[in-house]
């Protein structure tokens, strides 16, 4: 009997924000012989280190220094990656957060957060949608956040951008299911990365990026519509979002603000 040398799981995975945190951990969680990883980030040195680590685990890599806000550059890179080898899984992960420093969030910061967290996701995913539906195959993972369940005064643009990604992803999942393309919304709680290293308030159930990546990888393998974790935080965020603003708003105003 002939042995099957195809790797189990997706063979070509494209990840944005692979140069740090959850993106790095995802790249290494998928790195194995037979896999091609197309990785993007802005910091060339860190991105190259991640690509080298993935190659040392047996994967092929293509590392691109790109800003997800650059629509044309993203489309060109994503389509070229798909032409090189059909993409099985795209993970739109790149994101930034912003705090209000105790005051109102500036117009500049608001636009910057939406540009990366929302336009950046669209720039990553949209060029692939017609290609994936055309071949009735592929999987699209959108990294939202538990902060997307409900707006918090400490991070309006971040919460708003993550809510948009969540709801867009839920809709897209229903729309593309009939065309053979899977869509998954990922909603992590607190994960230890550069993004959370600046937080000076308690972060319940803080977990490592490696653990988060493993939960995401397993959730995607099972094609879960929503991959929300850790479960106590996910349950709390869901419950809090269901409360009336009349009860919730006065409480939320007392929460610590992100700097
Ligand atoms: N950490 C958490 O607790 C947590 C919780 C829920 C959701 N998330 C989400 O998880 C995702 C990854 O965050 P993380 O915690 O891993 O943070 P991180 O360590 O700060 O990593 C963010 C990644 O996004 C990239 N990036 C940022 N702006 C970019 C741009 N304009 N163009 C291209 N790449 C850009 C960064 O690239 P460079 O480093 O090369 O600049 C980096 O690779 C984000 O979408 C975040 O909102 C995080």
Higher pLDDT, 104 or 181: 181
Report pTM: 0.95
The pLDDT of 224-251, averaged and rounded, is: 93
Atom of ligand 1 nearest to the CA of 206: 3
Of 154, 226, 147, residue with least CA distance to 191: 147
Tell how far the Cα of 130 is from the centroid of ligand 1, in angstroms.
26
Question: Is the alpha carbon torsion for 43, 228, 155, 73 positive or negative?
Answer: positive
Higher pLDDT, 218 or 198: 218
Q: Is the CB of residue 80 less than 8 Å from the CB of residue 73?
A: no
Q: Is 158 a catalytic residue?
A: yes
Q: What is the DSSP string of 7-33?
A: PSS-SEEEEESTTSHHHHHHHHHH--T
User: How much is the pLDDT for 255?
Assistant: 75
CA distance 51 to 144: 24
User: How much is the pLDDT for 22?
Assistant: 98
Whether residue 99 has pLDDT greater than 80: no
* Ligand 1 pocket mutation pick from 16, 18, 21 by most atoms within 8 angstroms of CB: 21
Average pLDDT value over all residues in the chain: 93
Q: Is the CB of residue 56 less than 8 Å from the CB of residue 105?
A: no
How do residues 213-223 score in pLDDT, each as one tens digit? 999 999 999 99
Whether residue 7 has pLDDT greater than 60: no
User: How much is the pLDDT for 198?
Assistant: 87
Q: Residue 45, exposed/middle/buried by CB under 10 A (0-12, 13-18, 19+)?
A: exposed
Confidence of residue 253 (pLDDT cuts 50, 70, 90): confident
Atom of ligand 1 nearest to the CA of 67: 32
Whether residue 5 has pLDDT greater than 50: no
Tell how far the Cα of 138 is from the centroid of ligand 1, in angstroms.
23
Whether residue 101 has pLDDT greater than 80: no
Question: Of 30, 77, 152, 158, which residue is the catalytic one?
Answer: 158
User: How much is the pLDDT for 152?
Assistant: 87
How do residues 13-47 score in pLDDT, each as one tens digit? 999 999 999 999 999 999 999 999 999 999 999 99
Residue 101 zone, left/alpha/beta (φ > 0; ψ -120 to 50; rest): left
The pLDDT of 56-73, averaged and rounded, is: 98
């Amino acid at each position: 009997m002939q042995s099957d040398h195809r790797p189990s799981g997706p063979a070509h995975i494209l990840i944005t924000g692979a140069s740090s945190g959850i993106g790095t951990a995802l790249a290494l969680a998928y790195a194995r012989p037979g896999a091609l990883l197309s990785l993007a980030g802005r910091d060339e040195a860190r991105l190259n280190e991640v690509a080298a680590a993935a190659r040392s685990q047996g994967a092929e890599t293509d590392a691109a220094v790109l800003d997800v806000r650059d629509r044309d550059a993203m489309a060109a890179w994503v389509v070229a990656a798909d032409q090189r080898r059909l993409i099985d899984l795209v993970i739109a992960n790149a994101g930034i957060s912003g705090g209000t420093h105790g005051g109102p969030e500036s117009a500049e910061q608001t636009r910057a957060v939406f540009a990366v967290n929302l336009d950046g996701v669209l720039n990553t995913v949209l060029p692939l949608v017609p290609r994936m539906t055309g071949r009735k195959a592929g999987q699209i993972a959108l990294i939202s956040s538990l902060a997307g369940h409900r707006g918090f005064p400490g991070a309006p643009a971040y919460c708003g951008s993550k809510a948009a990604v969540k709801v867009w992803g839920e809709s897209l999942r229903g729309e593309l299911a009939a065309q053979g393309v899977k869509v998954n919304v990922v909603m992590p709680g607190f994960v230890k990365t550069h993004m959370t290293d600046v937080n000076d308030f308690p972060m319940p159930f803080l977990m490592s990026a490696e653990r988060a990546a493993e939960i995401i990888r397993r959730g995607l393998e099972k094609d879960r519509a929503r991959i929300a974790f850790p479960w106590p935080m996910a349950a709390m965020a869901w419950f809090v979002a269901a409360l009336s603003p009349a009860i919730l708003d006065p409480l939320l105003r007392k929460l610590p603000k992100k700097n």
